[in-house]
Amino acid sequence: MDRTPRHLHRRTVDLSSFAALTPLAVVLPFSLISLRLIWIPVNAALNIVGISLSFWVIPIAWTLGACCLFLRVAQTLVLTPVLGARSLTPEEHLVAQPIWEQVSVSAGIDPNRFVLRVIDADELNAFACGGHMVITTTFSLQHLNQRELAGVFAHELSHHLGLHTISLTLIHWYSLPIIALARIGFAVKNVARAATETFVAHSSALTAVGAVIAGVLTAVSWAFLCVLYASDAVGNLVGHRSEFDADQRSVQLGYGSELVAALTRVIAFGGGQRSIGWRQRVRASHPPARTRVARIEAALRHPSGI
């Protein structure tokens, strides 16, 4: 009989879900600016053939695209290749699927609601994405035993149940226009610099104009990239809370000791070290593994305090 508390079977919003939306507040205004700048030449081209496109059509369409990303079929067809993931091989399926089904069923969740994917990487890692994807690495499937892999899957399922993946998916989606504009800016800068050196090198005035244009494009491109860096930094800082919350939910689901075993394996492989200095803390997407283990073990000793 399922002894898991009924509220853990549902997707529920917790404090870390709201905190994880903080980076979106950083990204969203610059995403709109990027879409606006991209719209200008697109609209000019359409005007040549007699078509006028309202700017707000683009952000509305982009938002509808974000909503589609949470459909299971869209995640399977779109997010899988975007993230560089793939379907599991028959051998990997035999390893992962039974464990995933065990964890899901014990949590009162239909395992078919989610899609397992794998990334070819030589590191112990896994993450939840979108609303229905759990992605792990080939290294994890090869080096974690069944008990440890169950702890990892329970943790990632907990991210989904805590709705932690919504903000991450939205942030990545709304970052795409910023990334595109930055790349366009650097490309145009290179073209302007090459054109200046090739065609107007004989004129100091035109050379200066070309240098100014290249400098402005470089500054704008770097400004947009800095927004992404700032968003990542904020996301890492607030994301630590979601990791702790997912750990605690894993304990409540009955997989605390399994998760400790998996984190202990991460430590044994040299991962999850404590960050030294504020730069490392800003760049660290996860809390130190030893800190997580200590908190999980405390929760296992005092389950009434969870």
Q: What are 202-212's pLDDT values in tens digits? A: 666 656 665 66
- Residue 199: band (very low, low, confident or very high) from pLDDT cuts 50, 70, 90: low
Which amino acid type is present at position 40?
A: I
Bigger pLDDT: 181 or 292? 292
List CB contacts of 72: < 8 A, sequence separation 6 or more.
113, 115, 131, 132
CA distances from 306 to 246, 249, 298 (A): 12, 9, 10
Which amino acid type is present at position 50?
A: G
Q: Pseudo-torsion of CA 121, 124, 130, 133, nearest 10°?
A: 80
| Token pair recorded at residue 155 | 């943790």
pLDDT tens digit string along 7-45? 455 556 566 666 667 788 888 888 998 899 889 888 888
pLDDT tens digit string along 133-149? 899 999 999 999 999 99
- Percent of the chain whose pLDDT exceeds 70: 76
Across the chain, mean pLDDT equals 80
Instruction: Decide: 281 and 234 in contact? Cβ < 8 Å.
Output: no
Q: Is 14 helix (H, G, I), strand (E, B) or coil?
A: coil
Q: Helix 204-253 and helix 165-199: axis angle, to 10°?
A: 160
Cβ neighbours, 10 Å, residue 260: 22
> Considering the domain 12-167+232-305, what is its CATH architecture?
2-Layer Sandwich (3.30)
Does 290 have pLDDT greater than 50?
yes
Element spanning 87, H or E: none
Residue owning tokens 């805590």: 162
- Rounded-to-integer distance, Cα 46 and Cα 212, Å: 30
| Phi–psi pair at 56, nearest 5 degrees | -70, -15
Check: pTM over 0.85? Answer yes or no. no
Does 155 have pLDDT greater than 60?
yes
User: For every residue of 228-285, which 3-state class applies, written as one string?
Assistant: HHHHHHHHHHHHHHHHHHHHHHHHHHCCHHHHHHHHHHHHHCCCCCCCCHHHHHHHCC
**Nearest 5°: CA angle at 248, between 287 and 7?**
140
pLDDT of 95 reads 93
